[in-house]
Amino acid sequence: MTMNKGRLIVFSAPSGCGKGTMLAEILKDEKFRCSVSCTTRAPREGEIDGINYHFISEEEFEKRKAEGMFLEHASYCKHSYGTLTSEVDPYLEKGINVILEIEVQGAMKIRELRPDALFIFIMPPSVDELRRRLNKRATESEDVIERRVQAAAGEIPFAKKYDYVIVNDALEDAVSDFRSVIRAEEQRVEPMSEFIDEVIRNA
Ligand code: 5GP
């Protein structure tokens, strides 16, 4: 049985939820690809242009927006972020599942534009734990961390608008929960209907 088109997966998590480590694990499977977004924020230490993000200026961002290159875009903590359509559709066509690692405003836009996408929200065990993880990461100043904690607290209520919620307490469990969700989705009647028809035809 072959699945023709890839599935669009919206994967949202407030920063500090361990989404990066989860994604690194998930992306070991070549059936998945993470779309590389554009952002106007500066690279953090270790981040590589074209791999983590396309790091571009405000002017370049506005230009791409005017040219209609973004499937969705949003601003977050004073910076602009956007998903390029060219990072999504060509891969879905090839049968690859494309993950959009985006915040909630963008996710809600995708809900309207692509209702067949799968929406997964990653939760921290608590806001205190999230603050602790961001402090441990120590890649940002205290006020940036506090701004991110506040942004996270504002994003968590949106979890109720997603299809699945995964609590990232232990990485292995969270990744295994993600795989279970994908597996369950693959067993839904719609993706299985071609197979059902084939069995009926050959009966
Ligand atoms: P960070 O600066 O920590 O890499 O990302 C900040 C937030 O922006 C995260 O919640 C991340 O998921 C989100 N984000 C990254 N790329 C995009 C994008 O293309 N569109 C939207 N809407 N959000 C994005």
Name the one residue in this structure whose structure tokens are 């197979």.
Answer: 195
Contacts of 181 (CB under 8 A, 6+ apart): 118, 120, 164, 166
Domain ranges for the chain, please list them: 1-35+97-203, 36-87
Question: Ligand 1: which residue has its CA nearest to atom 1?
Answer: 15
DSSP β-ladder status, 79-84 and 38-39: antiparallel
Instruction: Output the pTM of the full model.
Output: 0.91
**Cβ < 6 Å from ligand 1: which residues?**
15, 37, 41, 72, 74, 76, 81-83, 101-103, 105-106
- For a mutational test of ligand 1's pocket, the pick from 48, 76, 104, i.e. the residue with the most ligand atoms closer than 8 A to its C-beta, is 76
pLDDT tens digits along 59-72: 999 999 999 999 99
Distance 46 CA to ligand 1 centre (A): 17
Choice from 79, 98, 101 to test ligand 1 binding pocket (greatest atom count within 8 A of CB): 101
**CA–CA dist 201, 21 (Å, integer):** 44
Instruction: Give CATH superfamily name and number for 36-87.
Output: Guanylate Kinase phosphate binding domain (3.30.63.10)
pLDDT in tens, the chain (203 residues): 445 789 999 999 987 788 889 999 999 999 999 999 999 999 999 999 999 999 999 999 999 999 999 999 999 989 999 999 999 999 999 999 999 999 999 999 999 999 999 999 999 999 999 888 888 876 778 888 888 888 888 999 999 999 999 999 999 999 999 999 999 999 999 989 999 999 999 99
CATH fold of 1-35+97-203 reads Rossmann fold (3.40.50)
What spacing in Å lies between the alpha carbon of 202 and ligand 1's midpoint?
Answer: 48
